């Protein structure tokens, strides 16, 4: 045993003390509250999606003549194909929700403020990548929603002044949806976005380690010590969250498995069509304003939130103690909820 | 020292060529630095060229295939009348004669693609309008946007021309596979019922089992 230990300690020259220091970051007490641990949940879901995504890619065939039938084959004929696909789909839904909730928590607790501005921007990058991953994911099935979603997205790109036509052609691999389009969406979904997200995640976690977790002290926290150990305390919390998620995802996969909608028909847009719930807000926005105004305003709002830590910094320098971010956040969240509910309850 | 991070040699043991590390850089140092910078810039330029090639590689060059197809004799469409033309892609196109003359300007061929976000509009005969289900765009019978985000925009017109009293239209000739085409081709050549979707109001495939039961 000691020879084995010597073998590894010679080849991995890190002392036990250093290893303990690296893995056992002191965790502030407020992280015992689950809503402060929402950052780890998307990371866990991301791993599930990578694993199930690799399994799905073993049978999936991009292309308008093959995609729909290959997804049907996975869903109906491959052993446990329905389960793998349903886990992938539900993980995606939960991941979008988890990233949004994590972002909201960070926003409303002001945890993005100096010196963590850059990490907020990385987090915004992760949020946008997650949404792009979700969109390209349901585009791959080549059902009606996939086709018309991709068509609308390419026209959103086309609405950008100057660069629009170029962006649309790059996205569709042609002037309109064609036999090369799905391959491009598959590359974005299965290669580009995961690579980008891994890079952003590594940066995100590295920044959290460098700055430490933002510390909050609650009135009911009467413990003498301000921190607890990452190993084993927080690690076990994450394991419990992981197990709970696996139970919930499996239950949903069995109770509400991923289904097949009608195959894409490029000649007929369904009389009622809606994207996934997380795009309801942008879908409604597109109904309210002319295309270019809607697209530019959406891009501008996302850009503002990307830069929000710097804007907030300027505001607080001018008016120290200002809580403008609370009002901006509340108005934004209420608007998003209102537009989402509006889109959800009406047919058109 | 093994088994510990930080066991690198001391800084004094290094042959330090870090810029600014020596008090008086020699001409040799300056030349070396210029050379290294040149190599680094060349590497950056080569990556730039690769990036440019990658964009060219990804940018589609093939234009959509289109062809002029015969629609009808000009005299067969009365002024104010219209007919439905089906393109090879399957798209239904409304071709209307809007004036007495027999030139191309007397005809319009309305595209069913919404100019807003590219969805397909459909005709609501009760309201005498085209409606786009994606973002609630409304067009009148002439294809003019009158409500919703595409207000002020018109449904596109396919190019038409008249030659020797014959009306032609320029339409895309390529199409993507659709469920209906798949059903039709499968029905004509025998099909595996298990692997094909069953659509409502569509003729379904007959399998050997069906024949036996009959």
Sequence spans of domains, chain A: 31-213+230-266
In a domain, B101, yes or no: yes
Q: What would the pLDDT profile of A239-267 be if each residue is shown by its tens digit?
A: 888 999 999 999 999 999 999 999 999 88
Q: Tell me which residue in A72, A264, A287 faces B135 most closely, judged by beta carbons.
A: A287
Nearest CA in chain A to B89: A267
pLDDT of residue A2: 87
Tell which residue, A77, A116, A8, has the closest CA to residue A260: A77
Reported as a pLDDT band with limits 50, 70 and 90, residue A296 is very high
Cβ–Cβ pairs < 8 A, chains A and B? 120
Do B101 and B120 share a domain, yes or no?
Answer: no
Contact between chains at B118 and A154 (C-beta distance less than 8 A): yes
Per-residue pLDDT averaged across B50-61, rounded?
93
Interface with B, mutate which of A155, A164, A179 (most B CBs under 10 A): A155
Which chain A positions have a beta carbon within 8 Å of B135's beta carbon?
A: 283, 286-287
- Which CATH number does the domain housing residue B99 bear? 2.20.25.680
The answer to whether residue B191 scores a pLDDT higher than 50 is no
Query: What is the separation of C-alpha A274 from the centre of its chain, rounded to a whole number of angstroms?
Result: 20
* Mean of pLDDT values over A50-78: 96
Q: How confident is the model at residue B205 (pLDDT cuts 50, 70, 90)?
A: very low
Q: Which residue of A has its CA nearest to B88?
A: A267
Topology of the domain covering A31-213+230-266: Cytochrome Bc1 Complex; Chain C (1.20.810)
Q: What is the mean pLDDT of chain A?
A: 92
Q: Is pLDDT at B23 greater than 80 in this prediction?
A: no
Using one digit for the tens of pLDDT, what is the confidence trace for B125-177?
788 888 999 999 999 988 899 999 999 999 999 999 999 999 999 998 877 76
- Going by pLDDT thresholds of 50, 70 and 90, the confidence category of residue B197 is very low
CA dist B214 and B212 (Å) reads 5
Per CB-CB distance under 8 Å, the chain A contacts of B179 are: 262-265
Position B204 pLDDT exceeds 60: no
Mean pLDDT over residues B58-77, rounded? Answer: 88
| B183: closest chain A residue by CA | A263
The C-alpha of A5 sits at a distance from chain B's nearest C-alpha, in angstroms, of 11
Contacts of A148 in chain B (CB under 8 A): 119, 134
Give the C-alpha separation, B204 to B198, whole Å: 7
Which residue of chain A comes nearest to B153, CA vs CA?
A: A290
**Predicted local confidence at residue B206, as pLDDT:** 39
List the CATH number of the domain containing B146. 2.102.10.10
Q: Sorting pLDDT into bands at 50, 70 and 90, what band is A122?
A: very high
Check residues A78 and B7 and name the one with the higher pLDDT: A78
| Cβ within 8 Å, pair A9-B3 | yes
Residues of B in contact with A156 (CB under 8 A): 117
Of residues B175 and A346, which shows the higher confidence score? A346
The B-side interface with A (CB below 8 A) comprises 2-5, 7, 58-60, 62-64, 89-92, 116-122, 132-136, 148-151, 174-180, 182, 195, 197, 199
Q: Give residue A67's pLDDT.
A: 97
Among all residues of chain A, which has the CA nearest to that of B181? A265
pLDDT computed for residue B198 by the predictor: 32
A224 versus A77: which is more confidently predicted? Answer: A77
- The CA distance from B189 to the nearest CA of chain A, in Å, is 17
Query: How many domains is chain B partitioned into structurally?
Result: 2
Total residue length of chain B: 214
In a domain, B169, yes or no: yes
Contacts of B136 in chain A (CB under 8 A): 287, 348
Question: How confident is the model at residue B63, as a pLDDT?
Answer: 75
Asked if pLDDT for residue B65 goes beyond 50, the answer is yes
pLDDT (0 to 100) of residue B192: 37
Interface probe for A, chosen from B135, B148, B153 (most Cβ of A below 10 Å), is B135
Secondary structure in 3-state letters for chain B: CCCCCCCCCCHHHCCCCCCCCCCCCCHHHHHHHHHHHHHHHHHHHHHHHHHHHHHHHHCCCCCCCEEEEEEEEHHHCCCCCEEEEECCCCCEEEEEECCCCCCHHHEEEECCECCCCCCECEEECCCCEEEECCCCEEECCCCEEEECCCCCCECCECCEEEECCEEEEEEECCCCCCHHHHHHHHHHHCCCHHHCCCCCCCCCCCCHHHHHHC
Mean pLDDT along residues A51-61? 97
In this structure, the strands spanning B129-132 and B137-139 are antiparallel
Is the Cβ pair A263, B90 closer than 8 Å? Answer: no
Q: What is the pLDDT of residues A193-228, one digit of tens each?
A: 999 999 999 999 999 988 888 777 777 777 777 888
The C-alpha of A274 sits at a distance from chain B's nearest C-alpha, in angstroms, of: 8
The pLDDT value recorded for residue B181 is 55
B163 plus B132 within the same structural domain? no
- Comparing A52-61, B82-91, B205-214, the range with the smallest average pLDDT is B205-214
pLDDT at A221: 76
Q: Residue A15: its pLDDT value, please?
A: 84
Residue B87's pLDDT is what? 83
Residues of B with Cβ-Cβ distance to A180 under 8 angstroms: 60
Residue-range definition of the domain harbouring residue B98: 63-111+157-176
Q: Answer yes or no: do B175 and A264 touch at CB < 8 A.
A: no
Percent of chain A having pLDDT more than 70? 100
Beta-carbon-side half-sphere exposure of residue A54 (alpha carbons within 13 Å): 6
Within a domain: residue B190? no
Segment among A48-62, A189-203, A235-249, A277-291 with least mean pLDDT: A235-249
d(CA A348, CA A272): 7
Q: How many CB atoms lie within 10 A of CB B12?
A: 6
Name the 3-class secondary structure at A228: strand
Please check whether residue B146 lies inside any domain of the structure: yes
pLDDT at A209: 86
Let me know whether B107 and B144 are in one domain: no
Residue B21 lies in a domain: no
Give the mean model confidence (pLDDT) for residues A262-280: 92
Contact present, B143 and B130 (Cβ < 8 Å)? yes
In this predicted structure, what is the pLDDT of residue B161? Answer: 94
Nearest CA in chain A to B172: A176
pLDDT band (50, 70, 90) for residue B196: very low
Interchain contact, A64 vs B177, CB within 8 Å = yes
The distance of B171 to chain A (nearest Cα, Å) reads 14
Percent of chain B whose pLDDT exceeds 90: 36
Confidence bin at B188 (pLDDT 50/70/90): very low
């Amino acid at each position: 045993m000691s020879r084995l230990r010597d073998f590894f300690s010679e080849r991995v020259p890190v002392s036990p003390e250093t290893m303990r220091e690296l893995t056992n970051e002191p965790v502030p007490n407020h992280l015992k509250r689950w809503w402060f641990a929402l950052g780890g949940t998307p990371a866990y879901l991301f791993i599930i999606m990578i694993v199930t995504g690799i399994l799905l890619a073993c049978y999936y065939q991009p292309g308008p003549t093959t995609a729909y039938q290959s997804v049907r084959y996975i869903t109906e004929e491959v052993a446990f194909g329905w389960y793998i696909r349903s886990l992938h789909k539900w993980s995606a839904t939960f991941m979008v929700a988890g990233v949004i909730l994590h972002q909201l928590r960070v926003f409303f607790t002001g945890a993005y403020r100096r010196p963590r501005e850059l990490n907020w921007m990385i987090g915004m990058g992760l949020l946008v990548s997650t949404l792009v991953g979700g969109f390209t994911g349901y585009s791959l099935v080549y059902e009606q929603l996939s086709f018309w979603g991709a068509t609308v997205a390419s026209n959103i790109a086309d609405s950008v002044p100057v660069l629009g036509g170029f962006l649309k052609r790059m996205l569709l691999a042609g002037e309109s949806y064609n036999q090369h389009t799905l391959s491009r969406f598959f590359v974005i979904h299965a290669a580009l976005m995961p690579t980008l997200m891994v890079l952003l995640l590594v940066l995100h976690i590295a920044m959290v380690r460098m700055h430490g977790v933002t510390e909050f002290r609650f009135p009911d926290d009467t413990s003498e010590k301000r921190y607890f150990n990452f190993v084993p305390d927080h690690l076990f919390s994450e394991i419990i969250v992981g197990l709970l998620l696996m139970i919930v995802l499996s239950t949903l996969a069995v109770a509400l498995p991923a289904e097949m909608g009608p195959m894409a028909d490029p000649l007929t847009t369904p009389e009622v069509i809606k994207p996934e719930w997380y795009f309801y807000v942008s879908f409604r926005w597109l109904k309210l304003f002319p295309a270019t105004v809607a697209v530019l305003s959406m891009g501008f709002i996302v850009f503002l939130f990307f830069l929000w830590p710097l804007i907030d910094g300027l505001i607080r320098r001018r008016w120290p103690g200002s809580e403008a971010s609370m009002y901006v956040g509340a108005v934004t969240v209420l608007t998003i909820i209102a537009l989402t509910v509006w889109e959800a309850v009406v047919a058109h | 020292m093994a088994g510990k991070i930080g066991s690198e040699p001391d800084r004094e043991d290094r042959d330090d060529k870090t810029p600014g590390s020596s008090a008086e850089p020699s001409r040799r140092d300056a030349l070396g630095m210029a050379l290294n910078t040149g190599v680094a810039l060349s590497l950056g330029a080569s990556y730039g060229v690769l990036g440019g090639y990658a964009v060219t590689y990804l940018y589609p060059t093939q234009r959509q295939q289109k062809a002029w197809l015969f629609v009808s004799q000009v005299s067969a469409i009365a002024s104010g009348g219209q007919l439905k033309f089906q393109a090879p892609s399957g798209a239904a196109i409304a071709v209307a004669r809007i004036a007495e003359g027999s030139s191309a300007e007397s005809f319009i061929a309305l595209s069913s693609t919404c100019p807003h976000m590219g969805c397909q509009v459909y005709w609501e005969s009760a309201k005498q309008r085209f409606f786009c289900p994606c973002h609630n765009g409304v067009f009148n019978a002439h294809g003019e946007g009158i409500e919703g985000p595409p207000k002020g925009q018109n449904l596109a017109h396919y190019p038409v021309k008249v030659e020797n009293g014959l009306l032609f239209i320029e339409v895309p000739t390529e199409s993507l596979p659709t469920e209906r085409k798949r059903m039709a081709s499968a029905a004509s050549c025998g099909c595996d019922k298990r692997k094909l979707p069953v659509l409502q109001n569509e003729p379904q495939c007959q399998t050997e089992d069906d024949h036996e039961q009959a």
